[in-house]
Structure 1
């Protein structure tokens, strides 16, 4: 595996998106877009890219805040940095963000990938849902995606498989929001929802106070199996 920092062209000539890229040891026809939380392309997100490269995928993590706060790397366990991240979230335009995911998908295809998936966390989980509804990505996975309940009206456009990991005690996604997601998405033939009882937001981070190791490993195994099936 090798890893580099690179830039990829944004759509419509808007500029260049900084990104972290992890390449497998051999050429791969499978790609993964790793979509960060609100903490930037930090060590945990780079570690997730590296893990996908070790599985044989070409992995890229675009800097989703590149338009107004490029290069940030924050630690959610540090209160000041957590509050800084909330400020960036408040400024973020998810409609522009899904265009950046589309740009990453297109870049992966220039590298020879025939099948591409995305996996996102928190805000990235929302973007994974949006990518499933608004792009032709082959498969998508969202972990503790926020505000998806406000976008279930787009679910009719989901044409390829989508998996969502939902911790039931997520302090940022209420029980009512979770119920709305289940009501709208459980009947969808392309969507799979997994609930994790008693778990909170961020349970699958690579390290830190939020991680629940056993449940993170279960969710990650489900994600690996999902992509192995749908990106084959």
Structure 2
């Protein structure tokens, strides 16, 4: 009888453990799909991780490129500091003239795994605080050997790049890819640094990066009095600069099937010419 009682207790305990494990799995499945930078699958070995202080906060940043070269703050998309923004920073650092590229981690280590989570992270971003992060990053580069510093960014980072042309006096030039800041954050007609901007003709993010947003930005930059260029690329949708295999797969999963290497090459050549004119000249 005692043996039967012990067997019954063992079975009950095992069943409760299985139920607990299933419950934990259900809870885990409901958690937002966020991963840390360490598991983001990016080419991290080339980058030096640093910490930057501003006001009463400290944030991580990732630096690549030769010291004393012109600096470039590279601002993330809504995904966070993932493989694609690191690919862009590496590309910039390895250009003929060479730049020292710095990526500030605006999400403080979080990376979105899908569009819904990226949207959630972007909506939770302190945009004014992000501009302060960019300013601190610009000043870090200037304090560490870069006499001139530009800002570039993609999607959310494109909007923040334009905002930095308005709100960060230390910026020497800006190149923005498919993103325009809200009027509450920054008015491009008040830009103080030269701005070059790139948009896909098929981009359907209305008011943020579509053709109407591009035309409105061009009108405002014209009234600012700073040098500017606004380029649109036929046959290209949003995020057309993301050309890594994982980036292409992610775009296709969001319904963007366009691939246009010629447009990407043209955009990079324009980037290089713009930043070269304002950062490499005496």
TM-score tier, shorter chain, comes to 0.7 to 0.9
CA RMSD of aligned residues (A): 2.1
Could you tell me which runs of 5 or more consecutive residues in structure 1 were left unpaired when the two chains were aligned: 76-80
The SS at the match of 2:47 is strand
- Structure 1 residues 200, 186: closer, same or farther in 2, change over 3 A? farther
- Structure 1 residues 35, 153: closer, same or farther in 2, change over 3 A? closer
The SS at the match of 1:51 is helix
Q: Which residue of 1 aligns with 2:230?
A: 193
The answer to whether the 8 A contact 1:152-1:181 is kept is no
Q: Select 2:173's aligned residue among 139, 154, 160.
A: 139
User: More displaced, 15-24 or 217-226?
Assistant: 15-24
Displacement of 1:151: 6.2
Q: Which residue of 1 aligns with 2:270?
A: 222
- Structure 1 residues 96, 195: closer, same or farther in 2, change over 3 A? same
The 2-side partners of 1:140 and 1:47 are apart by 19
> Bigger radius of gyration, 1 or 2?
2
Q: Which residue of 1 aligns with 2:31?
A: none
The answer to whether the 8 A contact 1:133-1:158 is kept is yes
Q: Deviations over 1:153-192 (max 9, x none)?
A: 7234322211110212212134433332233224544221
Q: How many residues align?
A: 218
The answer to whether the 8 A contact 1:35-1:125 is kept is yes
Displacement of 1:225: 0.9
Q: Select 2:79's aligned residue among 29, 39, 56.
A: 39
Aligned positions of 1:101-112 closer than 5 A = 101-112=134-145
The 2-side partners of 1:146 and 1:196 are apart by 16
Give the number of the structure whose residues are more often helix, by fraction: 2
- Structure 1 residues 222, 43: closer, same or farther in 2, change over 3 A? same
Displacement of 1:50: 1.6
The 2-side partners of 1:86 and 1:220 are apart by 27
The answer to whether the 8 A contact 2:163-2:186 is kept is no
- Normalised by the length of structure 1, the TM-score is 0.85
The SS at the match of 1:231 is helix
Q: Which residue of 2 aligns with 1:84?
A: 117
Aligned positions of 1:155-174 closer than 5 A = 155-172=188-205, 173-174=209-210
Q: Select 1:61's aligned residue among 61, 80, 103.
A: 103
The answer to whether the 8 A contact 1:186-1:193 is kept is no
Q: Deviations over 1:27-74 (max 9, x none)?
A: 3241000001011111111122222222321110011112xxx242x4
Q: Which residue of 2 aligns with 1:120?
A: 153
The 1-side partners of 2:184 and 2:172 are apart by 20
The answer to whether the 8 A contact 2:150-2:173 is kept is yes
Report whether the alignment pairs 1:182 with 2:218.
yes
The answer to whether the 8 A contact 1:186-1:192 is kept is no
- Structure 1 residues 3, 179: closer, same or farther in 2, change over 3 A? closer
The 2-side partners of 1:92 and 1:153 are apart by 16
Q: Which residue of 2 aligns with 1:51?
A: 91
